[in-house]
Amino acid sequence: MSRSINPELDLTISRLIRAPRSLVWNAWTDPSSFEQWWIPEPARCKVTEMELRPGGAFVTQISENGGDFQPHLSGCFLAVEDGERIVFTNALVGGWRPAEQPFMTAIITLQDHPDGTDYAAHVMHKSNADRNMHEEMGFYDGWGTVIGQLAKLVERRVQ
Amino acid sequence: MSRSINPELDLTISRLIRAPRSLVWNAWTDPSSFEQWWIPEPARCKVTEMELRPGGAFVTQISENGGDFQPHLSGCFLAVEDGERIVFTNALVGGWRPAEQPFMTAIITLQDHPDGTDYAAHVMHKSNADRNMHEEMGFYDGWGTVIGQLAKLVERRVQ
């Protein structure tokens, strides 16, 4: 259903997670697990809304250096396919309403791998300028770090 | 699934169409029928893409005064519920990619009515300024006119 990757507009990152797909899915869709990996440590994450259905709100907050929680992501789920795929955007907020600061749509895909789960994120932007800004803001480091945190969390649960 | 109407941010319009819901649905989802009512006459409409599924592209063109076809709407379907509801936005384009010029999300609802079909459009904006701009651009006249054209088309098919 999704289009192929456009290197001018998109950023992608993937990683093998040594845990079954169901565990990865649970760590994504259970807010108390999600909060443990979504933001690079030592900053903390709070899930304010996670309505896992098309049009559902997806809102997280961040606390850095022990400070108050501040807005982080305010977006909308576009597709939630059990155990396989989650699509969300910050171009819309809950109920599909246009957002104040649209920037990206992300397609998260989980596929079986002989050693666990192949976890992939495909992040789409409206322009090459936005794509490059996201890369310069530290896309690979940031998303790589939190996917690493996700892997650590679920790989611990396998044992 | 959709949120309630927010009068500060939303515009709504509805009309009784004296035809069964299936005929109204067909006039929406068949491109050659859709082209006959989507743009106020005498301007002409061409459907370039109408992929009726979440993430599907929705692109129309307009020709005014017999001139070349120009871009009109470039958007993305968010939900397509057979015979009942269509949700689309121009905050995203096909494949859910963020759009260059986001402005609105529309929820089109068809409900049975003793005399035909209750047709309703709920149009959501990100801000009161956008909502008011849309109203001043002629929302009620424009959407009212084309829903009238839709009614005329399908009511003719009943007889």
Q: Where do we find the tokens 């576009």? A: A78
Going through chain B in order, the beta strands assigned E by DSSP cover: 10-17, 44-50, 57-63, 70-81, 85-89, 92-93, 97-98, 105-113, 116-124
Amino acid letter at B105? Answer: T
| Proportion of chain A in helix, strand, coil states, percent, rounded to 5 | 30, 35, 35
Distances in whole angstroms, Cα of residue B22 to Cα of each of A141, B77, B82, B118, B158? 51, 20, 9, 12, 11
**What's the distance, CA B100 to chain centroid?**
20
Strands B85-89 and B70-81, sheet pairing: antiparallel
Amino acid letter at B66? Answer: G
- B51-89 pLDDT, tens digit per residue, is 999 999 999 999 999 999 999 999 999 999 999 999 999
User: How far does chain B reach from its first CA to its final CA, in angstroms?
Assistant: 35
CB within 8 Å: A54 and B54: yes
CB within 8 Å: A126 and B94: no
Give which of B40, B27, B53 is closest to B142, Cα–Cα: B40
- A27-41 pLDDT, tens digit per residue, is 999 999 999 999 999
Chain B residues inside the 8 Å CB shell of A7:
none
Distance, in Å, from the CA atom of B47 to the CA atom of B74, rounded to the nearest integer, reads 10
Position A1 pLDDT exceeds 50: no
Amino acid letter at A63? Answer: S
Chain B CB within 8 Å of residue A54 CB: yes
Q: Which residue of B has its CA nearest to A131?
A: B98
Position B1 pLDDT exceeds 50: no
CB within 8 Å: A98 and B3: no
* Domain at B16-158: CATH code: 3.30.530.20
Chain A to chain B Cβ contacts (< 8 Å): 95
pLDDT band at A4 (very low <50, low <70, confident <90, very high): confident
pLDDT value at position A3? Answer: 56
Contact B52, B77 (CB under 8 A): yes
- List, in sequence order, every residue forming a beta bridge with A73; answer none if it has no partner: A60
- For range A91-100, the mean pLDDT: 98
| Cis peptide, bond prior to residue A42, ω within 30 of zero | yes
Distance, in Å, from the CA atom of A117 to the CA atom of A112, rounded to the nearest integer, reads 5
- For range A3-29, the mean pLDDT: 95
**∠ CA B45-B46-B47, rounded to 5°:** 120
Supply φ then ψ for residue A93, to 5 degrees. Answer: -115, -175
Distance, in Å, from the CA atom of B54 to the CA atom of A88, rounded to the nearest integer, reads 12
Chain B CB within 8 Å of residue A11 CB: no
In chain B, what's the furthest Cα-to-Cα distance?
A: 44
Position A2 pLDDT exceeds 80: no
